[in-house]
Structure 1
Amino acid sequence: MSDFLIHVISISFIYGILALSLNLQAGYLGLMNFGLVAIFGCGVYGAGLAHRFEFPLFMGLVFALLLAVVTGLFFARVGRRLSSDYWGIATLSIAEIIRIFATNLEGLTGGAQGISGLPMLFADLRPWDGIARMVLFGGVLVSAWWLCEKLVRSNFGLGMKLIREEPQLARSLGYNIDHIRSVVMVISSILAAAAGVLYAHYLSFVGPELLVAPETFLIWSMVIVGGMANNRGVVLGAIVMQFMMAYIPFVKDYFDLPSDFVAAARLILTGGVILSFLLLRPQGILPERIGGHNER
């Protein structure tokens, strides 16, 4: 297996975890989170800060999870008195504020230069280190998928869907909407932070450019392409989108286009895919399975 293919699959697995995280919020609970990249940033900066201040590697995961849980609960708290649409705008604003802080807190985060030199996982296993990382990422993805499946197929998951479709009915039946949203935000934030830690140690770098809004919309495209409220679908969407993104540089080289084409083409591809699926196949490649929350 070529190094390029291993790289694309590895990145696809990380983004698959992020797509599962967003799918819990948007697909099953109806929360329009446009600031997921901020929670992902808790993961990458948790790993980065542990490295910068010479803490053990596992402390990066601890920092990441703590930051992500606090941020996720803050998102849930903000959304208590907001409709889904306004909550989405609020999360986008919060994510941008966090990115600006990360850019300017130079003494803590490294500022615009970021934090470099993070240790790569399994670096001592060369030439098999790439495959080892890919297997690890795949294992974390499978574990995240299993957790999400157990959650959404339970009675708790049934409550999530009811809140998404009929929040007033759910409230009248005794469901504590704020509590359920908080629980889902904590679980999905843990998944996003774990993905961030893996990504930081994969790139060996942490910087504010990882927290830009287009990253959130790339994850949204994966969920929309794969099929909202379908965990297998969003993982498939992540793989499809990452392979499409990976081959853009080859298109540039084939047509001898300028280097600026790559960044622009990725934005156009993300927006074009979202628009195309929303218009032509809004249910995605693998639609939600209606009435199957207890299927095995």
Structure 2
Amino acid sequence: MSEFIISTLTVAGIYGLMALGLNLQAGYAGLLNFGHIAFAGLGAYATGITVQAGGSPWLGAGIGVLLAMALGWCIARLGRQLGADYWGIATLAIAEILRTVATNEGWLTGGANGIAAIPSLFEGLPRPWNSVAFLAAVAVLLAGAAWAGRRLGNGRFGRALRLMREEPKLAACMGYDLVSLRSRAVMSGAALTAIAGSLYAHYMSFAGPDYMLAAETFLLWTMLMIGGLGNTAGVLLGVLVVQAAHALVPFAKDAFHFSSDTAGAMRIGLIGLILLACLLWRSQGLLPEKIRRIA
């Protein structure tokens, strides 16, 4: 039971890092990034390829961050030519292109089989202390990311992003470079998400194309919408709610003897019901963003 709780909290922490990265773009800047999971995929693959070649895990994480930031810069610059909705579709297409490349370029990524046998960061420790140490590392990173995201959102940069989100023409008239703001928001979120992807590869000892499925991005969007876009505490609450729904279904399966297919459908249905309830009664999330207004 303790191992199950540790595993659930660890995965929740990793998804929390990804969700905070998406919040920098969608919550503060209002950017419809539907290919956000590609940044996590880059972090996971960079770690797997580097470790497989005999390199350091820290080097792999650093390469993943640099690749994700480069992709984020390109995606943000693409936004100059597209409207918000078309830009969101373009990000989804880019993520699918990367997933297709990862699936077919077996010489580099292992193809559909992915890259296996990625060592854990604390494999030298005995069980269960290796899992506890990994959870502690994820918790520290998550706390640091939440603190930094909150400071960033309440600072000058965060206020500029919110102004761009609400009144882009006014932001431009006030001298803000909207392309620069968009680029910095996407690149910051990409770096944080790449770190989460690297951690996920170490934790699962695997990196594969399934890490970049569009469903993963929409799961992160669900967490943000349930918790509250633009609110760091709300995002973390949304992550906990969704992960709790994931964790409770196996207990229901054992208690009522559901099949695996039924349990999978129940998990999706339960998360869908929670999202629908929030959209109907708490449209801005369980902990909505608080914006200071001038009377």
TM-score (norm 1): 0.95
CA distance in 1 between partners of 2:251 and 2:47 (Å): 32
Match of 1:178 in 2: 179
Match of 2:261 in 1: 260
Could you list the runs of 5+ residues in structure 2 that have no partner in the other structure? none
Range that drifts further, 148-157 or 113-122: 148-157
Structure 1 residue 91: Cα displacement: 0.9
Secondary structure at the aligned position of 2:74 is classed as: helix
User: Contact 2:150 / 2:232 at 8 angstroms: preserved in 1?
Assistant: yes
% identity of equivalent residues: 46
- Counterpart mapping for 1:107-256 below 5 A: 107-127=107-127, 128-256=129-257
Match of 1:46 in 2: 46
User: Contact 2:47 / 2:201 at 8 angstroms: preserved in 1?
Assistant: yes
Secondary structure at the aligned position of 2:124 is classed as: helix
CA distance in 1 between partners of 2:170 and 2:270 (Å): 39
The alignment covers a number of residue pairs equal to 292
Task: Provide closer, same or farther for how the CA distance between residues 111 and 211 of structure 1 changes in structure 2, counting only shifts above 3 A.
Answer: same
CA distance in 1 between partners of 2:133 and 2:249 (Å): 26
Structure 1 residue 211: Cα displacement: 1.2
Range that drifts further, 256-265 or 184-193: 256-265
User: Contact 1:116 / 1:205 at 8 angstroms: preserved in 2?
Assistant: yes
Structure 1 residue 5: Cα displacement: 0.7
Alignment partner of 1:62 is 2:59: no
CA distance in 2 between partners of 1:214 and 1:254 (Å): 28
User: Contact 2:278 / 2:286 at 8 angstroms: preserved in 1?
Assistant: no
Range that drifts further, 176-185 or 277-286: 277-286
CA distance in 2 between partners of 1:220 and 1:196 (Å): 17
User: Contact 2:163 / 2:171 at 8 angstroms: preserved in 1?
Assistant: yes
Range that drifts further, 258-267 or 282-291: 258-267
CA distance in 1 between partners of 2:212 and 2:263 (Å): 19
Secondary structure at the aligned position of 1:247 is classed as: helix
User: Contact 2:116 / 2:205 at 8 angstroms: preserved in 1?
Assistant: yes
Secondary structure at the aligned position of 1:223 is classed as: helix
Alignment partner of 1:34 is 2:57: no
Secondary structure at the aligned position of 1:107 is classed as: helix
Structure 1 vs Structure 2 CA RMSD: 1.5
* Equivalent position amino acid for 1:5 in 2: I
Structure 1 residue 130: Cα displacement: 1.2
CA distance in 2 between partners of 1:244 and 1:197 (Å): 25
